[in-house]
Amino acid sequence: MLFMGIDVGSSGCKTSVMDETGRVICFASREYAFTYQDGRCELDANVVWEKVSETLRELGTNHDLKELKTVSVTSFGEMFVLLNEKKQVLAPSISYEDTRGEEELASLNEPDRLYRITGANPDVMFALPKLMWIKKHKPEVYANARYLCMFADYILFRMGAEHHTDYSLAARTLMLDVTTKTWSKEILSMAEIHDALLGKLVASGTKVGEMDAAIAEQAGLPKGILLLAGGHDQPCAALGAGIVASGDALDGMGSNECIVPAFGDLMIHQTMQQSNLVCVPHIIPDLYVTYAFNRTAGSLLRWYHQIIGETDYQKVLNEMPEEPTELLVLPHFAGAATPYMDNTAVGGIVGLKLSTTRGMLTRGIIEGLNYEMLVNLHCLKDAGFSVQRLYVSGGMAKSGRILQIKADVLGIPVMRLSNTETGTVGTAILGSVAMGLYPDCRTAAAALVKAESMFLPNQENHNYYQKQFKKYQKMYQEQKELCQD
């Protein structure tokens, strides 16, 4: 049997086909981009569908996929697509980075109540304030809307699935009651939003339809492929990394960075709220996850490489010194995420000298990214999560030098997986369970997820980084005071 996983990200889509052993037998990807104009940031859902369709045709044309049994999709959260009764896209999707909806969010005026219901502090990045903005400022779009789909739902919907949303993506709307796993009638009433727009709530891995025969034929795929509800990219990646019990956590190191620990109890309390830590459903039914994240990671390194005019990333990584630097880099180049959730925050670099090389600055940036995640690990510990080891995924996880710096700064073992594209592995695990190869996701993850290597902290480096970290902890507030108008 073969299982397909599609990962819809912010800069492109990746489609992988895995066999029963967890081996990726073929892979295709496409890029797309947000559009930026007049301070607004949007994504055309039609373009995303076209690019996903291209990956299907590439794989179906060039590989023998007659044993393909399931397709599941994972995607970024928060953003949604509005469709009319003919299932046509009504308007570009507003990015989670876009600040439209701030006034509408403020009008709800009950942040503590919203947190207790949704397990998340209200923020303009979520779907609800964007939807409220559309209702107020684009009433014709709202009036014609019949379906609201998160992006993973939308791709499956286009393939022939019923209108649905899994719990993990629903939790990124600010409309889900995480205790009952139902759409919150109280919040919908407060926001004056019609519940008829929203999809049927289902668990990840639920069979939600069969691929449309015409789409399958056009892509060169077999008939009768089952469509399975996927989920938010972070918990899907956590499943694909084998994060199926308390104590372990995934560190997704992509364009941004997010630590995702799993836990068994619904934890909605003041310490979590103060650190802006959510409590939302995992892909696995009896678990929850939280997100401790930074809005830059690989994107910051890309920015730096563009600034210095070097397109060979590996060349610059190879120029890094072996020893730690004295640099302190505050990586808030796209605002600050947890624990601050400060869209006005800016980055900074301290400690530059005429003797500073570009390799030193590269290492300093990586150190700064990890200082920021150490801030988050401290917040997680205060909230009751003690992360003992960290499994890593994403593009940055492919560099052993980066992972050694991470282990040295954080002071815990860092585990690199044999397949760092954990999002698509997670969706393939859902397929293997749906087809009865494994009784549940835990068993499937134990069989399919393998660690490739482990990076242990260098104690001398860690001791040095601990001293530097004390200085780093002062940077956010001092930078904020410096840059205030």
Residue 232: beta bridge partners?
75
Of 2-6, 122-126, 377-381, 480-484, the one with minimum mean pLDDT is 480-484
Determine the distance from the C-alpha atom of residue 125 to the mean position of all C-alpha atoms in its chain, rounded to a whole number.
13
Say if strands 80-83 and 147-150 run parallel, antiparallel, or are unpaired. Answer: antiparallel
Say if strands 2-8 and 12-18 run parallel, antiparallel, or are unpaired. Answer: antiparallel
Hey, which CATH number is domain 2-235, 3.30.420.40, 1.10.1660.10, 3.40.50.300, 3.40.50.11740?
Answer: 3.30.420.40
One fold for both 2-235 and 242-483?
yes
Residue 141 phi, psi (nearest 5):
-65, -50
Torsion of CA 387, 389, 394, 399, to 10 degrees: 140
Name the token pair of 349. Answer: 């670099």
258 vs 252: CA distance, rounded Å = 5
CA-closest candidate to residue 163, choices 87, 56, 240, 51: 87
Q: What is the pLDDT of residues 183-210, one digit of tens each?
A: 999 999 999 999 999 999 999 999 999 9
Q: Is the pLDDT of residue 423 over 90?
A: no
Identify the pLDDT of residue 245: 84
Q: Is the pLDDT of residue 63 over 80?
A: yes
Beta-sheet strands, E only, within 143-225: 147-150, 164-166, 176-177, 182-183, 200-202, 207-210
Count of other CB atoms within 10 angstroms of residue 200:
12
Q: How confident is the model at residue 424 (pLDDT cuts 50, 70, 90)?
A: confident
Identify the pLDDT of residue 461: 98
Q: Is the pLDDT of residue 11 over 90?
A: no
Q: Decide if 376 contacts 293 (C-beta within 8 A).
A: yes
More confident residue, 86 or 450: 86
Identify the pLDDT of residue 484: 80
Q: What is the pLDDT of residues 80-132, one digit of tens each?
A: 999 999 999 999 999 998 999 999 999 998 999 999 999 999 999 999 999 99
Residue 456, Cβ density class (10 Å: 0-12 exposed, 13-18 middle, ≥19 buried): exposed
Matching residue, tokens 């549940």: 440
User: Which residue stretches of 347-411 are H helix?
Assistant: 358-383, 400-410
More confident residue, 420 or 72: 72
Identify the pLDDT of residue 470: 98
3 state SS of 379: helix
Q: What is the pLDDT of residues 315-326, one digit of tens each?
A: 999 999 999 999
Enter the pTM of the model.
0.91
CA distances from 296 to 125, 300, 472 (A): 16, 6, 17
Q: Decide if 371 contacts 468 (C-beta within 8 A).
A: yes
Domain ranges of the chain: 2-235, 242-483
**Mean of pLDDT values over 15-34:** 92
**Mean of pLDDT values over 330-351:** 94
Spatial neighbors of 262 by CB under 8 A, at least 6 apart, are 238, 243, 244, 245, 246, 248, 249, 282, 284, 287, 288, 289
Q: What is the pLDDT of residues 369-409, one digit of tens each?
A: 999 999 999 999 999 988 989 999 888 999 999 999 999 99
Q: How confident is the model at residue 18 (pLDDT cuts 50, 70, 90)?
A: very high
Q: Is the pLDDT of residue 411 over 90?
A: yes
94 vs 351: CA distance, rounded Å = 38
CA-closest candidate to residue 250, choices 239, 240, 263, 259: 259
Write down the architecture of domain 242-483 according to CATH.
Answer: 2-Layer Sandwich (3.30)
**Mean of pLDDT values over 364-373:** 98
CA-closest candidate to residue 28, choices 7, 49, 11: 7
Name the token pair of 333. Answer: 């180049």
**Mean of pLDDT values over 427-451:** 92
**Mean of pLDDT values over 268-277:** 95
Average pLDDT, the chain: 95
Residue 311, Cβ density class (10 Å: 0-12 exposed, 13-18 middle, ≥19 buried): exposed
Identify the pLDDT of residue 418: 86
Alpha-carbon torsion 28, 252, 414, 386, what sign?
negative
